[in-house]
Amino acid sequence: MQGTLEKVCSDVLEKIKPKPEEREKIEVLAKALEKKVAEAAAEYGVKATVRLEGSVAKDTWLSGEPDIDIFMRLPKSIPRTSLGETALKIARKATQGAKQVERFAEHPYLEAFIEGVRVNIVPCYDTRQGEWLSATDRTPYHTDYVKKRLTPKMRDEVRLLKKFMKGIGVYGAEIKVGGFSGYLCELLIIYYGSFLEVLKAFAKHKQRVVVDIESHYKGREDELPLLFNEPLVIVDPVDIGRNVASAVQSQKLYTFVAATRAFLEKPSLKFFYPSETKPLTVERLRETLKNRGSTLLFIVFGKVKAVPDVLWGQLYKSQRSLAKLLQTNDFALLRHTVWSDEENLNAFIFELESRHLPPVKKHLGPPLEKAEDCKKFLAKHSANPETVSGPYIEDGRWVVEVKRKFTDAVSLLEERLKDGGRSAGTAKEIAQVLSRGFKIFVNEEIAETYAENIEFAKFLTEFLSGKPKWLENTVKDG
C-alpha cells in the first residue's frame, strides 16, 4: 500500500477528480435547477437572485460525491421569520416530484434527491459584503473569492486535501464532526499553495496557527491572538471579524497534525481510503469485554427529537457533564464517547478503570494558615459518623478519612439520571428522553444491542481498538 508521495497523490487524484462525462451530467443538472428555482420564485412573485454555489460552483467537488447547492438571494425586506418558509415554498415547487427533506441549519432549507444527486436549495439575504443578516449571506462572496483565487491545478490540490481529511475523519463542519469545512480546505490551499505544503505546515504545528490571507490585520498582527482564542485561526477573506476555523475542535486539529506527520513519513493510500471496519463477532465481543480488565458502561436511550446539529450538540454537552460527574466522584475514567444513529438508538459510553471504588477515601481540609476554615472543618468532621479516621494533620492541613457516598458507578449514574440528570448537567432534550427511561449495560451486557445494529457494532469495535486506522498502517513496524 505504501508508495512515493507523488504516486499516492496521483493515484488518489485519478479516482477523485470528476471525469468529463460525470462533470457534464452535474453541470447540466445544476443549470436546469438554477433555472427551475428562478422560475418558481418568479411564479410566487419573489424577487430572487438564483445561483449555483458550493463545491460544484468552485469545481472542488469529489467524483461520486457531488452536492449541488442552489442559493437564492432574497430581498432584505423579507422578515427573518418568514425567510425559510418563503424559500421552502419555492424550493418545493422547483423540485416537484423528487424526494424532498426539510433541513435546518440557521434557517430551514430543502434537500432533494434528483437523478441520485443530493441538491440543497438554500435561502440567504442579498446583502453587501460586511452587512450580513444571516450566516449563509457570506456564501456567494466565498464562492466568488475562491473562484478568483484558485487555478485549475489548485482545485485538484483542494480535492486531495478534502479526501485526505475525509479519510482520517476530520472533514466536515457539522457539530457531529467538528472538523474542517470545504471552504476552509480551499483557503488552506490558497494560502499554502498545494496539498503537500499544507501537510508540511501542519506537521510542524507547535502552538497556534494563525493565517490572515488578505492581510486584514496588516500592521496589527499582534491583535490577532487576542481577538480569536481558537487554536486554529484562519481569518475569513470576506469577513474580517470571522475565524473560518472557529468550529474546528482541537481534537480534530490534533488528529490532522498527527496524520500529516505519519503520512509524510510513510505515504499510503490508506489515509485516503481507510479499510472498512470488520466488527468483532458477538462471541468475540463478549470475550474481549470480559477479559479487558477495564469496565465499559453503556447508557442506552431512545429517540431524541432534534435536527442533527442540535442532537449532537446536546449529546456532546451531556457526555462531558456525565464524564465530569464520574470523575468528581473519583471514578478513574479512561475514555468516553457517544454514539447515535440519529434515529432510535443513542448511547453514552464510559470506560472506567473499575466500576467499583474502595469504600474509604481521604478528604483534604483547609491548611493550618486558615484558622477559621479549620475551626469549621473540625466542627463538621470531628464527631461525624462518616469519619473513619481523623481529623489529623498532614502536610500542614487537616485531613479526614471518610466513607465514600458512591462506590458503584452504575448506582451513581442511576441515581443522578433518574430524573433526566439536568442537575448533573445533561442537556435539555437529552434529559427529557432520559427521564422517560434508559438502560445501563455493563461490559458484555451490551452484546444484544451490539448484535442488532451493525453500525453500532463497527463503532464499538473501533472504540475498543482506540487506534486510528491510518496509524495501524504506518508505524506497526516502527
List interacting residues with its own copies (CB under 8 A).
203-207, 250-251, 254-255, 257-258, 261, 292-295, 332, 334-335, 351, 353-354, 357-362, 368-369, 371, 374-375, 378-379, 382-383, 388-396, 398, 400-401, 403, 464-468, 471, 475-478
Query: What's the CA gap between 252 and 415, in Å, rounded?
Result: 34
Instruction: Find the shortest distance in angstroms from Cβ 207 to its own copies.
Output: 7
Nearer to its own copies, 428 or 467 (CB): 467
Query: What's the CA gap between 391 and 406, in Å, rounded?
Result: 21
Instruction: Find the shortest distance in angstroms from Cβ 320 to its own copies.
Output: 13
Nearer to its own copies, 344 or 384 (CB): 384
Query: What's the CA gap between 331 and 334, in Å, rounded?
Result: 9
Q: Are 347 and 339 in contact (CB under 8 A)?
A: yes
The per-residue DSSP string of 383-414 comes to T-TTEEEEEEEETTEEEEEEE-S-SBHHHHHH
Nearer to its own copies, 105 or 464 (CB): 464
Instruction: Find the shortest distance in angstroms from Cβ 206 to its own copies.
Output: 5
Query: What's the CA gap between 163 and 150, in Å, rounded?
Result: 18
Nearer to its own copies, 344 or 382 (CB): 382
Could you tell me which residues come within 8 angstroms of residue 312 by beta carbon, excluding any fewer than 6 positions away?
A: 174, 175, 176, 340
Q: Which residues pair with 108 in a beta bridge?
A: 104
Nearer to its own copies, 147 or 404 (CB): 404
Nearer to its own copies, 81 or 207 (CB): 207
Query: What's the CA gap between 271 and 8, in Å, rounded?
Result: 10
Query: What's the CA gap between 144 and 140, in Å, rounded?
Result: 6
Instruction: Find the shortest distance in angstroms from Cβ 398 to its own copies.
Output: 8
Instruction: Find the shortest distance in angstroms from Cβ 298 to its own copies.
Output: 16
Nearer to its own copies, 345 or 378 (CB): 378
Which ranges of 228-344 would DSSP assign to H, the alpha helix? Answer: 250-265, 282-291, 308-328
Q: How far apart are the first and last CA of the chain?
A: 16
User: Which DSSP state fits 105?
Assistant: S
Nearer to its own copies, 142 or 266 (CB): 266
Instruction: Find the shortest distance in angstroms from Cβ 446 to its own copies.
Output: 16
Q: Which of 165, 183, 105 is nearest to 470 (CA)?
A: 165
The per-residue DSSP string of 316-374 comes to HHHHHHHHHHHHHTT--EEEEEEEE-SSS-EEEEEEES-SB--SEEEEEEEETT-HHHH
Q: Are 336 and 313 in contact (CB under 8 A)?
A: no
Nearer to its own copies, 76 or 361 (CB): 361
Instruction: Find the shortest distance in angstroms from Cβ 122 to its own copies.
Output: 34
Instruction: Find the shortest distance in angstroms from Cβ 400 to its own copies.
Output: 8
Nearer to its own copies, 100 or 294 (CB): 294
Could you tell me which residues come within 8 angstroms of residue 373 by beta carbon, excluding any fewer than 6 positions away?
A: 365, 366
Nearer to its own copies, 101 or 334 (CB): 334
Give 424: exposed, middle or buried? Use CB within 10 Å, 0-12, 13-18, 19+: buried
Q: Which of 17, 74, 16 is nearest to 49 (CA)?
A: 74
Instruction: Find the shortest distance in angstroms from Cβ 294 to its own copies.
Output: 4
49 φ/ψ angles, rounded to the nearest 5 degrees: -95, 115
Instruction: Find the shortest distance in angstroms from Cβ 389 to its own copies.
Output: 4
Instruction: Find the shortest distance in angstroms from Cβ 237 to its own copies.
Output: 28
Q: Are 154 and 162 in contact (CB under 8 A)?
A: no
Instruction: Find the shortest distance in angstroms from Cβ 334 to its own copies.
Output: 5
